[in-house]
Amino acid sequence: MAVRSLVSVVDDDQSVRESLPDLLREFGFEAKAFASAEEFLASGYVDQTRCLILDIAMPGMSGQDLQQELTRRRQKIPIVFITATGDETVRPLVLERGAVECLFKPFSEAALLGALNAALHVA
Amino acid sequence: MTTGFEGITTASDLIDILDTIEVPVVAVRRDFLIACFNKAAADVLGLSASDVGRPCRTISVLAGLPRLEQQCSQVIADGVECRADFRDGDRWFVVRISPSTTGDRQISGTVLTFTNVTAFRASTDQAIYEREFTKSILNTVADPLVVVSPDLRIQSGNRAFYTTFGVSRDETQGVPLDEVGNGAFALRTLRAQFEEMLAGSHAFQPVEVEHVFPGKGQRTLILDAHPLSVPGHSKSRVLVTFQDITARKQAEAAKDLRSEEELRRSEAFLAEGQRLSVTGTFSWKVATDEITWSEQLYRIYEFEIGVPVTLELIRTRVHPEDVSLLEKMKMVDQARGGGEAFEWQYRLLMPDHSIKYMHAIAHAIRARDGQLEYIAAVQDVTVRRISEEALTRARTELAHVARATTLGTLTASIAHEVNQPLSGIITNASTCLRMLDADPPNVDGARETVRRTIRDGNRASDVITRLRALFGRKSTTTESMDLNEATREVIALSLSELQGSGVILRADLGDDLPLVTGDRVQLQQVILNLLRNATDAMNGVDDHPKELVIRTERDNDDGVCLSVQDAGVGFAPEDIDQMFDAFYTTKSGGMGIGLSVSRSIIERHRGRLWATRNNGPGATFAFFIPCAPEGDRRSADTEPEHAMGNR
């Protein structure tokens, strides 16, 4: 069996950080959770991350700030944004900047799987 | 009588008589020796018995008659008596020197009788003095005075009379008054007036006379006459006075001219002021429909200047929707008994279909004849109105944007708070299913995901609890308040909006309202909401006045009731159930939350909000709130009602 792909989750919300990695592991991925963009950048897992599940609204660096920072560092990690705001206008904005998908919380298992598949296929 | 006078000694009776009279009598012989004298001569002139037989000139008291000897000789020669003045100290006498005859009619000497005229002489002196004094006063009077007889003949005048008319005393003496001064006083009425005055039937009415004087030009004189009657004298005389009022007349004429000039100036001011402020004025006598219209008002109404203005003519200009408003205002004012200033706004519909906005202030006055008259100032506020409307539109749009923005932010915030735990719940549940489906099932993992699901569920529930706290009762501030006052504030805020919509607002606020305890701002929002709804409901009304009645009253001692009655489109009976639901609206621009929010506010005050259909057009929305909601009752009770009531 091949080495499992690492999916990193960056979200300031604790319940997401606890629940989402478990589900990702059930999907068969390796999963790591970080409470902020800064923590993720400092972790040393950036290079290994095959897919980034990224919250948009966070204290400090926002999800979009991290997206820009990774672009600046030429790190081409596929990003799936997740957001709780329900503001539909944000979706075309982030997709235009190269995100694979933008999911609105709460999202279904199927939607998440679809987005992950798309992300890893791109990669 | 002292003896020694020949020829009379025999008449002892005569001697006794002479001694009894108080007038001194002295007899002098032809040779100027004292023949005899009576007792009064001894008493008054101080003659003594030894003086008999002495020459007159040696008698010191007779020194006051230096020519006595000549005078006696004359009397004896002529046989005719003469008189002489005699002074003895302060006393004045008139001495009568008469011839005395003997029995054979031969003149034997003279008899001197001394009549004391001291008192008479003093009063004569006084009279002369008074006359001269009066004369000098009269001569200093600048106005001509003349005394005339009843037949108008001049008797005497003062100096001013002669100099003023350029005549002399001599040439006017006895001349009729109407013949002097070139006949200036030849007035037909003058003689008639004199006769009436002297008959005592009428007082003399002063006459104004124009007279051209040589060298002085035309003067205006007031001729007056006063009867001069002396007690005991039947013969009347008349004092005629002349007062030169030329200077006064000229001053008056100048003043008239000046006030005319001032009037012209202030009229010009007024007209210019009216033009600059685009304000016209008119007055309207109700009984006669007589209308006075200022020039500026002609310009505003675009009537041809000078055209007689009638109510009919005015009605052709007033916007059809506002005609009833004008009538209504008049009725309201009359109901109040007039006298108070009132104002209203209306529109003019010009022949070119443009609209002018008018602001009028009027009040009724009672003219002297008791007739009702309206005085009004009418200002063309079109320009101001247009900018105000633009401002109001901008403000409304801004308020709408602000409301939408606030609501959007609030919605996003709520959504975020709720979506986070929901997201956790769904993810956990998905994981749980997968763990249980595994072979063998990962029961411990599943248990952990269920535990997290419960936690997230509680978290979502907490969000709702927090929202309740945020918008719940705890955020309101309660105070003891006067609902009338709160209502009046709302009316004041809405008045221009109401008038702008052509709404006639009648406030019927009860004067015995108890205080209520509540959130003033929230209750005012409810009142404002009801007023706005009522105004909006009457938007399309044009067949009857847009009348809105706001009423407050005490309700059964335990609360107050406020109602807002409109004459608008009303509502269908089947709508009444949904009307208070959130997001239910019949208005194109409305959000449909006003009534539902209003109802929740009223319910939070332990009150009720309801709607009823009117018998006539429109609907009435009303709310009731108890005086002191539970929990605040104690504080409300401790605050005396009259402390804040009826302000």
Cβ-count burial of B27 within 10 angstroms (0-12 exposed, 13-18 middle, 19+ buried)? buried
Residue B452 confidence (pLDDT) = 92
**Are B240 and B224 a contacting pair, CB within 8 Å?**
yes
Q: If we measure between CA atoms, which residue out of B342, B360, B340 comes closest to residue B278?
A: B360
pLDDT confidence tier of residue B447, bands split at 50, 70 and 90? very high
Q: For chain A, say whether B254 makes contact (Cβ under 8 Å).
A: no
Chain B residues whose beta carbon lies within 8 Å of the beta carbon of residue A113:
none
Q: For chain A, say whether B415 makes contact (Cβ under 8 Å).
A: yes
Tokens of B10: 């025999």
Give the mean model confidence (pLDDT) for residues B476-503. 80
Residue B499 confidence (pLDDT) = 75
> Is A103 a residue whose pLDDT tops 90?
yes
pLDDT digits (tens, 9 = 90+) for B116-147: 888 888 888 888 888 888 888 888 888 888 88
**Are A20 and A9 a contacting pair, CB within 8 Å?**
yes
Interface touch B419/A107, C-beta < 8 Å: no
> Is B633 a residue whose pLDDT tops 50?
no
> Is B316 a residue whose pLDDT tops 70?
yes
Interface touch B426/A13, C-beta < 8 Å: no
Distance CA B358, CA B556 (A): 44
Chain B residues whose beta carbon lies within 8 Å of the beta carbon of residue A90:
none
Cβ-count burial of B143 within 10 angstroms (0-12 exposed, 13-18 middle, 19+ buried)? middle
pLDDT digits (tens, 9 = 90+) for A41-63: 999 999 999 999 999 988 888 89
* Long-range contacts (CB closer than 8 Å, 24 or more residues apart) made by A102-105: A104/B419, A105/A16, A105/B419, A105/B420, A105/B422, A105/B423
Q: For chain A, say whether B426 makes contact (Cβ under 8 Å).
A: yes
What number is the ipTM of this complex?
Answer: 0.87
> Is B169 a residue whose pLDDT tops 90?
no
Higher-pLDDT residue of A74 and B212 is A74
Distance CA B567, CA B307 (A): 39
Residue B325 confidence (pLDDT) = 66
Residue A45 confidence (pLDDT) = 93
Q: Give the minimum alpha-carbon distance from B563 to chain A in angstroms, rounded to a whole number.
A: 42
pLDDT confidence tier of residue A10, bands split at 50, 70 and 90? very high
- Which range (B79-83, B220-224, B324-328, B366-370) has the least confidence? B324-328
**Are B482 and B644 a contacting pair, CB within 8 Å?**
yes
Q: If we measure between CA atoms, which residue out of B639, B642, B646 comes closest to residue B480?
A: B639
Query: Is pTM beyond 0.90 here?
Result: no
Q: What angle do CA B324, B330, B333 make, to 5 degrees?
A: 140
Query: What percent of chain B has pLDDT above 90?
Result: 9
Q: If we measure between CA atoms, which residue out of B91, B98, B80, B99 comes closest to residue B115?
A: B91
Place of tokens 């929010």: B597
Place of tokens 């009762």: B473
Strands (E) across chain A are located at: 6-10, 30-34, 49-55, 79-83, 101-104
Q: If we measure between CA atoms, which residue out of A15, A55, A48 comes closest to residue A30?
A: A48
B interface test, pick of A7, A12, A23 with most B CB neighbours within 10 Å: A23
Average pLDDT, chain A: 90
Residue B590 confidence (pLDDT) = 44
Q: For chain B, say whether A20 makes contact (Cβ under 8 Å).
A: yes
Distance CA B250, CA B241 (A): 21
Who among B425, B430, B449 is closest to A109 (CB)?
B430
Orientation of helix B483-500 relative to helix B520-537, angle to 10°: 30
Q: If we measure between CA atoms, which residue out of B164, B193, B191 comes closest to residue B177?
A: B191
Distance of alpha carbon B95 from its chain centroid, rounded? 80
A interface test, pick of B409, B417, B430 with most A CB neighbours within 10 Å: B430
Residue B434 confidence (pLDDT) = 92
> Is B39 a residue whose pLDDT tops 80?
yes
Q: If we measure between CA atoms, which residue out of A3, A65, A6 comes closest to residue A32?
A: A6
